[in-house]
Amino acid sequence: VPTVADTPLYFRTVRVTLPPGGRSDVSAANGIIYQISGSTEITVAGKPRMLARLIQPVVAPVAA
């Protein structure tokens, strides 16, 4: 591959619904998380970190 931009991209879609206090383990070299609600705690180098909710649902008024 001549440049990093020429590297193939691969996508995987995962939907996870957990009860309050529930836990799911995922391990990946890198990635993007799109979270609709709740909060997410990740562990990096053995240290837990809480992620803020970054994506806000878009609610638009509906014309009558």
> Backbone dihedral region of 10: left (phi > 0), alpha (psi from -120 to 50 degrees) or beta?
beta
Instruction: Judge whether 42 lies within some domain.
Output: yes
Owning domain of residue 49? 31-57
Instruction: Judge whether 37 lies within some domain.
Output: yes
Give the per-residue pLDDT at 38.
Answer: 73
pLDDT (tens digit, 9 = 90+) per residue, 8-38? 777 776 777 778 777 777 776 666 667 777 7
Q: What's the pLDDT band for 61 if we cut at 50, 70, 90?
A: low
Greater confidence (5 vs 13) lies with 5
Cβ contacts of 36 within 8 Å, gap of 6 or more: 55, 57
The full DSSP string for 27-53 is --SS------SS-EEEEETTEEEEEP-
Number of separate domains in the chain: 1
Average confidence score pLDDT of the chain = 70
Give the per-residue pLDDT at 47.
Answer: 86
Instruction: Judge whether 19 lies within some domain.
Output: no
